[in-house]
């Protein structure tokens, strides 16, 4: 069946419009609560959020929904998405909820759901919950309505878990680190964790006011952290997104280190210690061919999935891998958590920096990315990729790049857009290939 509410990462949209209203949030609470009322124990849900103004509204609506069907609620306040996944398991909760639209602007918000194992819900559970949203839920009787309470030590629990991802003998003394928390969910916990490990921390993006999340800061807006790293003489910069499941690094020269380079570092270091499971790393079709070649040089595989950290996680679980991620900065380290965690990944990078004694610019640029170009073509309707002329142009492009590059063409899952990506050793050829395909799609869609 088609999805009306759930997308690739929960439910997301502009607040007070479409699928992201208080009324729908309450229905999500009722439906998810009903779905996970299993067994005779007292049922519990953990609800966290980022720093968006609309988080208060959606939090209250979800509380009303869950308690109305008889589920107790534990509220954490602003915490990263991976912290909610962790607390769902630790508190033996039946379901976890994160209220966040990740790297989107403050006008948007979203609802991410976790099962009792701390992993994002399966397609089966999401489809079942979606089907319930247009139905009347059976409400609890008066004596069985749930209760809600806030816990005061949620931040401390998460900081402890993050630090536990490193060996006890690893300290960050001597490192000057700029941490950009995007005025988001990690604005307290990420700087605290690094400071407790001995680093000198310069924290930016740590003054949330409800509407400045991801605004000219964080992992999708790097100008501020680059300027701060260079001006302060810091060893490295750590940039997180609004819910802190994404990491981009900036070296001491102010140069961006994306998710592909981070996966190369973490994967190769674990392999050298005999701790990399599965014999490779899981990434998406968007990861650079340079990463694939680097890993092949170490006799490691790059396993590619569809775009989205959810697909990466599915690939990791299916093949027994413990390192995966996306070029955009989602890092999933299954030895330390059940979902992407920018802070945990950052600490792995910082530990490697300490142990190597190298500068970040020496340690974090392990391969030269091949030229890569992505363009989007918007179309009014129909299926331009089914056009015979488009198919012929694509086949010709694949033949041109055979053995020296890659071509990835995919329709957007959320808007009428065809994404055309090519990469190869010859930048000029890559640009020609992409432009030719884009022109063909435009003609077919005209």
Of 181, 169, 250, the residue nearest 212 (C-alpha) = 181
Count other C-beta atoms under 10 Å from residue 371's C-beta.
Answer: 18
Distances in whole angstroms, Cα of residue 360 to Cα of each of 250, 284, 411: 8, 25, 37
Active site residue 54: no
Given 102, 192, 219, 268, which residue is catalytic? 102
Catalytically active residues, by annotation: 102
């Amino acid at each position: 069946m088609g999805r009306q509410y759930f997308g690739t990462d929960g439910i997301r949209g502009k607040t007070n419009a479409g699928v992201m209203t208080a009324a729908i949030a309450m229905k999500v609470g009722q439906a998810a609560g009903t779905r996970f009322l299993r067994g005779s124990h007292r049922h519990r849900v953990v609800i966290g959020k980022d720093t968006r103004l609309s988080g208060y509204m959606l939090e209250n609506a979800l509380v009303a929904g869950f308690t109305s069907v008889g589920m107790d609620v534990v509220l954490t306040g602003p915490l990263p998405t991976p912290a909610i996944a962790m607390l769902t398991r630790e508190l033996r909760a039946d379901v976890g909820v994160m209220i966040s639209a990740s790297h989107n602007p403050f006008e948007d918000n979203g609802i991410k759901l976790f099962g009792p194992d701390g992993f994002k819900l399966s397609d089966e559970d999401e489809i079942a919950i979606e089907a319930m949203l247009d139905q009347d839920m059976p409400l609890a009787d008066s004596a069985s309505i749930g209760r809600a309470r806030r816990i005061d030590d949620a931040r401390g629990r998460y900081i402890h878990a993050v630090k536990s991802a490193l060996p006890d003998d690893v300290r960050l003394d001597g490192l000057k680190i700029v941490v950009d928390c995007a005025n988001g969910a990690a604005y307290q916990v990420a700087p605290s964790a690094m400071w407790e490990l001995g680093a000198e921390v310069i924290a930016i993006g740590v003054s949330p006011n409800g509407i400045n999340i991801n605004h000219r800061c964080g992992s999708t807006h790097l100008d501020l952290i680059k300027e701060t790293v260079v001006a302060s003489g810091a060893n490295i910069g750590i940039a997180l997104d609004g819910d802190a499941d994404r990491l981009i690094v900036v070296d001491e020269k102010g140069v961006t280190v994306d998710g592909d380079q981070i996966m190369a570092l973490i994967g190769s270091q674990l392999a050298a210690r005999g701790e990399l499971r599965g014999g490779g790393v899981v990434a998406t079709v968007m990861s650079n061919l340079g990463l694939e070649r680097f890993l092949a040089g170490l006799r490691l595989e790059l396993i590619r999935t569809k775009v989205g950290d959810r697909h990466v996680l599915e690939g990791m679980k299916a093949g027994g891998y413990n390192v995966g991620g996306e070029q955009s900065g989602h890092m999933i380290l299954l030895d330390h958590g059940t979902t992407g965690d920018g802070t945990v990944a950052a600490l792995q990078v910082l530990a490697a920096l300490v142990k190597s004694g190298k500068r970040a610019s020496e340690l974090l640029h392990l391969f030269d990315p091949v030229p890569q170009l992505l363009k989007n073509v918007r179309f009014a309707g129909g299926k331009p990729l089914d056009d015979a002329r488009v198919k012929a142009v694509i086949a010709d492009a694949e033949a041109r790049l055979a053995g020296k590059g890659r071509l990835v063409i995919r329709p957007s899952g959320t808007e009428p857009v065809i994404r055309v990506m090519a990469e190869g050793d010859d930048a000029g050829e890559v640009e020609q290939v992409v432009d030719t395909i884009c022109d063909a799609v435009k003609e077919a869609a005209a």
